[in-house]
Amino acid sequence: MDRLRIGILFGGSSEEHPVSVKSAQEVAKHLDTDKYEPFWVGITQSGAWRLCDGPGAAWEDGSRQVVLSPDSSIQGLLVLDQGRYETIGLDVVLPVLHGKLGEDGAIQGLLELSGIPYVGCDVQSSALCMDKNLAYLVVSNAGVATPNFWTVTPDENIDPGLFTYPVFVKPARSGSSFGVTKVSTPEELRSAVEIARHYDPKVLIEEAVVGSEVGCAILGNDLDVIAGEPDRIHLSHGFFKIHQEDNPESGSENSTIVVPADIPVDMRARVQQTAKAIYRALGCRGLARVDMFLLDDGTVMLNEVNTFPGMTSYSRYPRMMAAAGLPLGDVIDRVVSLALTGKAQ
């Protein structure tokens, strides 16, 4: 049987470039090459696309310039060489990209133009989930609790006296806690807004939620979705920022992730059902990790949704799915099947 020709995109020009490379390295370890013929496309931090042998440490060395054709009659890659090009047809694309231009609908728009089936959320859902302000509005309208928040536009000056502290200041469209600051006094607010604006001109000021941070991995389309085992983050201080640690493979300086979550069985079921409701309300497809707060009164509240979550050795999504009996190799098979047929085989 012919192998599926799968284009795997990784890297990217967002602040999450290093995490994406690590995710791709983990995907490479679990990809069944008896089923798939991989074509690895690394995107440099400057935005150059390079066809390479894989996501190893020196993937840019010896790589060739390549683009994804937006012409749906070609459906593949164009490898450029001295003014000429070679065409590589693809059956499916796996965009192992995080953050801006990876999870925000940009790459999904290019893939829609290409006509190639791709893993994960579509343009609309990706853009919606990336924008925390819009995601909160949609999810709250679907009956799921969200934090109280205020949106700060690019040129707006905020009166620090409007808020009860502490609050969190965060970019509206960023991931992995980049640009997020916990603000404890009015005097700290304006500098926190400026930090967030380095990542996105649109900024959220959000109430500090008192509760446990929990997450749930979701896989599937429409009504046919499954949930992994929820996890819970134990914090010693500060807030969760695993992808900004110097050596996250060896653990975090302020957090421990427990999976399965050490919460009662009824709360586990509530977290899973709420995650599914959020996933559907936002139109997610393929996979996503839904991060939530579990309050003392049993309320489950949305924190954020990652439409292509980290797949590294220490990432939460593969750990939650593995705890539910789905190792990463099986997850890859299922999301590829969803991209091709709409069903997880």
Are the C-beta atoms of 288 and 306 separated by less than 8 Å?
Answer: yes
Distance CA 152, CA 193 (A): 8
Token representation of residue 313: 């050795």
Report the domain count for the chain: 3
Q: pLDDT higher for 155 or 98?
A: 98
Q: Are residues 153 and 18 in the same domain?
A: no
Q: Are residues 141 and 275 in the same domain?
A: yes
Q: Are residues 139 and 270 in the same domain?
A: yes
- Of 17-31, 224-238, 303-317, 329-343, where does mean pLDDT reach its minimum? 224-238
Write the CB contacts of 34 (distance below 8 Å, at least 6 apart in sequence): 3
Are the C-beta atoms of 64 and 51 separated by less than 8 Å?
Answer: yes
Distance CA 133, CA 153 (A): 12
Helix (H) or strand (E) holding 203: strand 203-207
> Above pLDDT 70, what percent of the chain?
94
Distance CA 12, CA 100 (A): 8
Q: Are residues 167 and 218 in the same domain?
A: no
218 CB-side CA count, 13 A: 31
Q: Is 314 a catalytic residue?
A: yes
Please check the confidence at residue 335 and state whether its pLDDT lies above 80.
yes
Q: Are residues 137 and 179 in the same domain?
A: no
Q: Are residues 167 and 38 in the same domain?
A: no
Instruction: Please report, for the domain that includes residue 320, its CATH number.
Output: 3.30.470.20
Write the CB contacts of 170 (distance below 8 Å, at least 6 apart in sequence): 132, 177, 179, 180, 181, 196, 203, 204, 206
Q: Is 173 a catalytic residue?
A: no
Instruction: Please report, for the domain that includes residue 158, its CATH number.
Output: 3.30.1490.20
Q: Cite the DSSP H helix spans in 132-199.
A: 132-141, 189-197
Please check the confidence at residue 1 and state whether its pLDDT lies above 80.
no
For residue 342, the model assigns a pLDDT of 84
Q: Are residues 133 and 276 in the same domain?
A: yes
Q: pLDDT tens digits, residue range 245-300?
A: 566 665 556 678 999 999 999 999 999 999 999 999 999 999 999 999 999 999 99
pLDDT band with cut points at 50, 70 and 90 for residue 309 = very high
Q: Are residues 201 and 261 in the same domain?
A: no
pLDDT band with cut points at 50, 70 and 90 for residue 155 = confident
Are the C-beta atoms of 327 and 238 separated by less than 8 Å?
Answer: no
Q: Is 98 a catalytic residue?
A: yes
Distance CA 180, CA 115 (A): 37
Average pLDDT over residues 331-338: 98
Q: Is 243 a catalytic residue?
A: yes
Domain that holds residue 198: 149-207
- 289, 316, 319, 334: the catalytic one is 289
Q: Are residues 31 and 84 in the same domain?
A: yes
Instruction: Please report, for the domain that includes residue 32, its CATH number.
Output: 3.40.50.20
For residue 36, the model assigns a pLDDT of 98
Domain boundary among the residues 168, 190, 207 is at: 207
For residue 111, the model assigns a pLDDT of 98
Q: Are residues 132 and 274 in the same domain?
A: yes
